[in-house]
Amino acid sequence: MTAACSQPVLDNRYRVETPEGIDLLLRPAGLVPRALAFTVDLALRGLILLALFFGFGLLGKLGIGLGALCLFLVQWWYMVLFEVFNQGRTPGKLWLGLEVIHDDGTPVGWAASLTRNLLRFVDMLPLGYFLGTLSCLAHPQFRRLGDIAAGTLVVYRDRPAKPRAALQAAPLQAPVALEQDERRAIIAFAERGDQLSGERRRELAALLAEPLGCSAGQASEQLEGIASGLLLGSTRQAAFEAAHEAQWQAFAKRLAQTGERRSAALQDFPSAYRRHCQQLALATSRGYSEGLLTRLRQLALAGHRQLYRHRSPLPGRLLGFVLAGFPALVRRQRRSVLLASGIFYGLLLISGWLVHLFPDLVFTVLPAEQVADMEAMYDPDATRLGRFGERGSADDWAMFGFYVMNNIGIAFQTFAGGLLLGLGSLFYLVYNGLVIGTVAGHLGNIGYQLPFWSFVIGHGAFELTAITLAGAAGLGLGQALIAPGRRSRSEALRQAAAISVRLVAGAMLMLLLAAFIEAYWSSMTYPAPALKFAVGAALWLLVLLYFCLAGRSRHAPD
């Protein structure tokens, strides 16, 4: 769609080359303003949770479930929701004048925002955002690891360009013939002089004056005089502005209307945008003043974002993803999925078999207190299986909230752990397979295998599959870093993340369904075990058929 050029320009600007052949300049935000924005958001999230938990504490077990769901949303989705629905700005970024965008200048979307925020888990390691800080300091555009994988930038949001005062210096003739870029640089220096510190102004003046043979002591004044002469000698700019001023104002008005999603404003918008790009290119090639170019670039950037933003309705995209896109993606990534499944299920079976042969081995994997808890949860005489053995509907809701917060959080961490060369994802796959197999082997040894498996089989079709999918997503990130092929590691990571984040999004949907089944069906004891096994087998078959058959139609939505 667009091509981003990573060539830095003066004052750490980032240049984006658009399909229309113009350059848009962005100002990447450094570590300090980003850290301040994150601190503001962190404090705000703490206040939100404090207020919610205080209110939910009055609702008993129902409040526990609501609190767990809110904790999950605030922890994992606060940043994503604000970035997607508020033009890349969380409250902290809004206060600091920052925004998140794709590195091609377009508004950040769901996949990129989710990627950069889930991978924040790794940026924070080992503590205090250590890895993220190192990445920001080392990268020319101050990107942390999550930004590199997501293809995003945190930039300053440009304020509307103000008319610049005319240069007051007496016009001077340039001592040598100047190229177009040289004339533009001198004019830009003169017009931006009041925005620069004295030290920075002298530094830039020395760089510009040296090839002109200007004296070092009066370089700044002489450059201003040369800029005045260049602008005075250019009579075309005034005529150019007079000829197109009405069009620029009309285009700015249309941009405001498209931001309000008025359908009438979208008519003929592409042609108006491309006409504006032609005018910007013409003004740039003629070396017009920096003030005019800044104004035209800001309008072009706003038009670029409107034209290339994703406008597909979210419900339709989500439905297409569930019905076809997700299973088709799993089939395309079958090697990673089979590898993650082999690791997880292989360790589950091996650990269960070893604990069956050597019963005391369970205490080398799990502490005695946790083993006792597991025995109480799956006691054949319990009225309900799982946590809160004696519980009512409010307890079921509390457990639903707990399962959502815990299980989806683990899946997100499993995915993010792939950024550690795949070792983090491998750890979670190994750990979960080892623990589940150990528990299964121990409960079988003491005769609790029937309640345990009747509890697990129902939601396990979705939950265990989701664990392996999250692991496969993380292993995909690790593979891109270890073996990028002919691509750079950053490009390989970005491509892998675009695929992996969709896998983990599908895993999240499966875990939501698993949490509901686990809270409201798996824990029941009044259905006969045979019925629960039959329902569980049907669910496993349904999952298998879904991933094997769904989305194979040529016209299936994606």
Whether pTM exceeds 0.75? yes
191-201 average pLDDT score = 70
Cβ–Cβ < 8 Å for 442, 456:
no
Taking only the tens place, the pLDDT of each residue in 254-297 is 887 765 554 545 667 888 889 999 999 888 887 777 778 888 98
Taking only the tens place, the pLDDT of each residue in 46-76 is 999 999 888 887 777 778 888 889 999 999 9
Taking only the tens place, the pLDDT of each residue in 206-238 is 777 766 666 656 677 777 777 767 666 556 777
Q: What is the pLDDT of residue 231?
A: 65
Inform me whether the pLDDT recorded for 7 exceeds 50: no
> Nearest CA to 436 among 312, 554, 349?
349
Q: Mean pLDDT, the chain, as a whole number?
A: 85
Q: Please report, for residues 346, 370, 433, 437, the alpha-carbon distance to residue 350 in angstroms, rounded to integers and kept in the order given.
A: 6, 21, 9, 7
357-372 average pLDDT score = 93
Q: Residue 18: which pLDDT band, with cuts at 50, 70 and 90?
A: confident
Separation CA 289–CA 423 (nearest Å): 53
Q: Residue 156: which pLDDT band, with cuts at 50, 70 and 90?
A: very high
Q: What is the pLDDT of residue 315?
A: 84
Separation CA 256–CA 382 (nearest Å): 63
Instruction: Determine the 3-state secondary structure of 63 from DSSP.
Output: helix
Cβ–Cβ < 8 Å for 277, 21:
yes
The residue whose two tokens read 């005391």 is 360
Inform me whether the pLDDT recorded for 182 exceeds 60: yes
Percent helix, strand, coil in the chain, to 5, is 70, 5, 25
Q: Please report, for residues 439, 525, 533, the alpha-carbon distance to residue 380 in angstroms, rounded to integers and kept in the order given.
A: 16, 9, 16
Inform me whether the pLDDT recorded for 505 exceeds 80: yes
